[in-house]
Amino acid sequence: MELIEISRPARPQNGEILFGTPIPPIDKLLLLPLLLAITLSLKSTILLHLRGSVPN
């Protein structure tokens, strides 16, 4: 839920201020792989931490 709020700020974005037009949706699509990579890296880090803390 927080990601949706961050991607849609109430104030105008830089592109809207400079060009007077909304930023193309392509820019938001480019953020998806970045968010996916961050999520996967956090998931792998958490899994490694849990595996390291659990005795075999």
Question: Residue 23: is it exposed, middle or buried by C-beta count within 10 angstroms (0-12/13-18/19+)?
Answer: middle
15: in domain: no
Is there a domain that residue 16 lies in?
no
Among candidates 5, 13, 10, 3, which has minimal Cα distance to 34? 3
pLDDT in tens, 16-56: 455 555 555 666 677 788 889 989 999 988 888 888 776 55
Under 8 Å between Cβ of 22 and 15: yes
Where in the sequence is the domain holding 47, given as residue range(s)?
23-56
Higher pLDDT, 33 or 5: 33
Helix (H) or strand (E) holding 29: helix 25-53
Counted domains in the chain: 1
Q: In this predicted structure, what is the pLDDT of residue 12?
A: 52
